[in-house]
């Protein structure tokens, strides 16, 4: 009986030893999955497998650019009690490079490694940017992938301020200044250059102050016109109510002014074109006016008086096409009228009424045989002089202010805006009838244009502060370059 008990005890003892050895053999660490890989980051999972309780001094991953792990980066996750899954991550990797990663655990000073996994970080790539048209100081967003933390953005040669890099896929930048209208956006990520195929366009249009009106007055309700002798601004009222009886003529090639006397009666709200001047009123009391009917042809020898008008014209819209004078609307009430002057018979021909009320407060511009006008409800109308037909072809997107804006044509583009108390300016493509904003006039918005002219590829704009604006503000002549920045 004693022999049987001894044998049983020995059997249990050796069986216990066998079980302990089996558990020790199952204490392992594994490198499981690469959960995330980008241009400079990696996130991996590992697992400690054990059939019994285990206490680790440290665990995590070793990362290296070579399979020998000669100079590894250690991703230490610290002490760990018990088996189970763990996740580690690191950043600052080289984009487009090969790496090796393996898990580890520190068991009472003995470091045990798991299997090795090879992977490659990703290269940065571009998708899109928005907006593709804007001004310096505004924000622009770049979409793509695998942008590293050192990513830089350039607009042409100019470096942009990077405001944010979000999830390695979105970059917010502040648009820098530029001397070029069209630039290429270049993204540099860890020294790798990425370039968008489409260019970014800066909102353009530069203003250069050329001169001031040669007299210390502020002029309103005047007329202006342009001919081979220069830019003419005159008649109308000075602030304070004094009628002006002369013109100041500006020569852009010499930047000089000349005073030219007008032989007729001073007036305000007259009309004027390159070859004709007439109408208007003389204020005799508060909101009381006497109409002025005299009518002149403007020649190289001066102002030649023609037969008086047989109708009243106060603030009428006047324009010439092929040397023929057209007169549209007035500020005297009544139905709209439209007339054309016949210089041979020296008579006026009544034309069919326009579709809306137009007068000098409405912008117009001319391209070939087509007259464009912008109505009080933003409608863009065309009038074809040969067919005498009207058509509504679009909408002006800007503000109309208090009327009396500017309209000028250079080549295939029209430039519209600078209405009273507004500094906005827009460009109209006369082929597509699409509008594009331009840079605003860099002066106080409480002003009104009292003359605008075109020479070569530039516009010349005379603007005066609004009559209700107090202070010593001069009348300023700007030269506008539509392509300038």
Indicate which CATH number applies to the domain containing 153. 2.60.40.10
Percent of the chain with pLDDT over 90: 85
Task: Identify the domain containing residue 322 by its residue range.
Answer: 206-481
Domain-located, residue 17: no
Sheet holding 379-384, edge to edge: 364-367, 370-374, 379-384, 389-395
Same domain for 402 and 303: yes
Domain-located, residue 18: no
Tell me: cis bond preceding 131? Omega within 30 of 0 counts: yes
Return the pLDDT at 19.
40
Q: Is the pLDDT of residue 87 over 50?
A: yes
Domain-located, residue 15: no
Query: What does DSSP say about strands 182-183 and 200-202: parallel, antiparallel, or unpaired?
Result: antiparallel
Same domain for 236 and 155: no
Domain-located, residue 11: no
The CATH code of the domain that includes 284 is 2.120.10.80
Domain-located, residue 16: no
Burial class of 39 by CB neighbour count within 10 A (0 to 12, 13 to 18, 19+): buried
The CATH code of the domain that includes 104 is 2.60.40.380
Number of structural domains found in the chain = 3
Give tens-digit pLDDT for 27-51.
Answer: 899 999 999 999 999 999 999 999 8
Confidence of residue 468 (pLDDT cuts 50, 70, 90): confident
Between residues 485 and 480, the one the model is more confident about: 480
Q: Is the pLDDT of residue 400 over 60?
A: yes
Among residues 120, 150, 169, the one where a domain terminates is 120
Q: Is the pLDDT of residue 203 over 50?
A: yes
Same domain for 317 and 228: yes
Same domain for 177 and 314: no
Domain-located, residue 9: no
Same domain for 136 and 47: no
Same domain for 215 and 195: no
Among residues 90, 120, 150, the one where a domain terminates is 120
Among residues 91, 120, 149, the one where a domain terminates is 120
Domain-located, residue 2: no
Same domain for 162 and 62: no
DSSP secondary structure of 270-313:
-EE-SSEEE--EEEEETTEEEE---EEEEETTEEEEEPPPSS--
Domain-located, residue 37: yes
Same domain for 454 and 366: yes
Give tens-digit pLDDT for 132-190.
Answer: 999 999 999 999 999 999 999 999 999 999 999 999 999 999 999 999 999 999 999 99
């Amino acid at each position: 009986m004693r022999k049987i008990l001894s044998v049983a005890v020995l059997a249990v003892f050796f069986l216990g030893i066998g079980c302990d050895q089996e558990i020790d053999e199952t204490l392992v660490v594994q490198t499981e999955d690469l959960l995330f890989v980008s241009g400079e980051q990696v996130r991996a999972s590992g697992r400690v497998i054990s059939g019994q309780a285990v206490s680790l001094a440290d665990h995590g991953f070793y990362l290296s650019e070579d399979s020998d792990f000669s100079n590894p980066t250690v991703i230490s996750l610290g002490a760990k009690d018990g088996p189970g899954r763990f996740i580690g991550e690191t950043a600052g990797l080289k984009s487009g490079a090969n790496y090796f990663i393996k898990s580890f655990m520190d068991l009472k000073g003995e470091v045990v490694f798991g299997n090795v996994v090879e992977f490659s970080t990703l290269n940065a790539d571009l998708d899109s940017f928005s907006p593709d048209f804007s001004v310096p100081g505004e924000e622009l967003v770049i979409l793509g992938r695998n942008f590293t933390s050192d990513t830089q953005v350039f607009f042409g040669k100019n470096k942009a301020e990077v405001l944010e890099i979000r999830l390695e896929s979105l970059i917010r930048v502040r648009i820098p200044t530029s001397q070029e209208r069209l630039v290429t956006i270049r993204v540099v990520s860890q020294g790798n250059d990425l370039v968008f195929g489409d260019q970014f366009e800066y909102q353009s249009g530069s203003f250069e102050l050329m001169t001031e009106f040669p007299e210390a007055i502020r002029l309103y309700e005047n007329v202006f016109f342009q001919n081979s002798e220069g830019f003419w601004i005159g008649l109308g009222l000075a602030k304070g109510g004094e009628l002006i009886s002369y013109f100041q003529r500006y020569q852009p090639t010499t930047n000089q002014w000349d005073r030219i006397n007008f032989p007729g009666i001073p007036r305000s709200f007259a009309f004027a074109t390159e070859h004709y001047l007439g109408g208007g009123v003389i204020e005799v009391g508060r909101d009381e006016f006497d109409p002025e009917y005299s009518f002149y042809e403007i020649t190289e020898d001066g102002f030649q008086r023609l037969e008086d008008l047989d109708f009243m014209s106060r603030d009428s819209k006047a324009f010439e096409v092929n040397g023929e004078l057209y007169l549209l609307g007035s500020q005297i009430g009544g139905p709209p009228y439209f007339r054309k002057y016949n210089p041979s018979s020296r008579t006026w021909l009544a034309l069919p009424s326009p579709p809306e009320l137009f007068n000098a407060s409405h912008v117009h511009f001319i391209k070939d045989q087509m007259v464009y006008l912008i109505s009080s409800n933003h409608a863009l109308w065309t009038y074809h002089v040969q067919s005498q037909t009207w058509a509504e072809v679009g909408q002006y997107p800007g503000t109309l202010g208090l009327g009396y804006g500017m309209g000028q044509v250079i080549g295939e583009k029209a430039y519209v805006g600078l209405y009273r108390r507004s500094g906005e300016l827009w460009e109209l493509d006369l082929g597509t009838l699409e509008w594009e904003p331009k840079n605003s006039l860099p002066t106080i918005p409480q002003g009104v244009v009292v003359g605008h002219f075109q020479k070569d590829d530039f516009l010349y704009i005379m603007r005066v502060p609004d009559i209700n604006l107090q202070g010593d503000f001069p009348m300023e002549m700007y030269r506008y370059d539509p392509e300038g920045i």
